[in-house]
Amino acid sequence: MRNIGIYYAFWCNEWDADFLPYIEKVKTLGYTQLEINGGTIVDMSHEDRMKLKKEADKYEIKLSYGIGLTEENDVSSLDEKTRLNGLNFMTKMIRAVGSMGGGTIGGTVYSSWPKQLPKGNRRLDYLNQSLKSMKVLSKIAEKENVILLCEVLNRFEQFLLNTCDQALDFVKEINSPNCKILLDTFHMNIEEDSIIEAIIKCGDYLGGLHLGENNRKPVGLGMMPWAEIKKALDKINFQGSLVQEPFVMSGGQVGQDIAVWRDIITNPNLDKLAKDSATYIKNNLA
């Protein structure tokens, strides 16, 4: 059975959080994986990281790490100082995750988020800067037992990797076993002609799958074709993790960044929603 995970920010309005209590919580709710903020991991002491790892081991919860690099840490920046700042930040994150036993770091590891193509600039220039950075970071990841997952995002949040085809060209150019693709059904629903064909096309390059309904409610409460998605995953013998990223609460930095301008579900019982969704994923995707 594939690992079933959930993103901690389902319960949060701010990106920085104490992740420790969520480990037992997600175990109780039926998950085998918790995805947390990789940026926070960078700032934690080694002792706190080890405490987090010990708690995860206790409850047999796999940890994975997500990041949307900020503008000052943009590894695709045309400003070389900014790009090098990003390399330094990502190197610290990779080594921090490596010290905890390794794992996946997914998201905009290749650029910043959210980011629009500046007027008058060329996508290719940013792409080349990103490739230069990712070739360096992938080598570091190989030494630290870390897999970098380049997430394919919709056009309103990023401009470098919007489709599976673009991501395939990107990771093939990097040519590292520790750099793969992270697809997300929410973003694919906007950009891909066929979610199913995109998954199949990714094949062995698919390192992880984020689950999101069309409206970012918990899995099972929207219109996504989960039965067909499972068939595509089975066809490529996908053994990676399924991590859902539901966002239903407005407010705080999370609501601002994700563009949740209204409560998607009124007075939600978040734990019950997460538990019911875990059951749905087990029955329909794992």
Q: Is the pLDDT of residue 190 over 90?
A: yes
Q: Report residue 85's pLDDT band, with 50, 70 and 90 as the boundaries.
A: very high
Q: Tally the domains of the chain.
A: 1
Share of the chain above pLDDT 70, in %: 100
- Domain harbouring 155, CATH code: 3.20.20.150
Average pLDDT on 149-166 reads 98
Q: Is the pLDDT of residue 1 over 90?
A: no
Catalytic choice (35, 157, 213, 245): 245
Of 247, 244, 234, 246, nearest to 206 by C-alpha is: 234
Active site residue 151: yes
Active site residue 245: yes
> First-to-last CA distance in the chain?
5
151's CB contacts (< 8 A; 6+ apart) are 106, 107, 108, 109, 161, 182, 183, 184, 187, 210
Residue 36 has φ and ψ, to the nearest 5°, of -125, 175
262 C-beta neighbours (distance < 10 Å), count = 9
- Is residue 160 within 8 Å of residue 174, measured between CB atoms? no
Average pLDDT on 8-32 reads 97
Domain hosting 157: range is 4-284
What pLDDT, on a 0 to 100 scale, did the predictor assign at position 46? 96
Task: For residue 157, give both structure tokens.
Answer: 């949040």
Q: Is the pLDDT of residue 62 over 90?
A: yes
Per-residue pLDDT reduced to its tens digit, 235-264: 999 999 999 999 999 999 999 999 999 999
Q: Is the pLDDT of residue 192 over 90?
A: yes
Average pLDDT on 160-183 reads 98
Catalytic choice (151, 191, 192, 213): 151
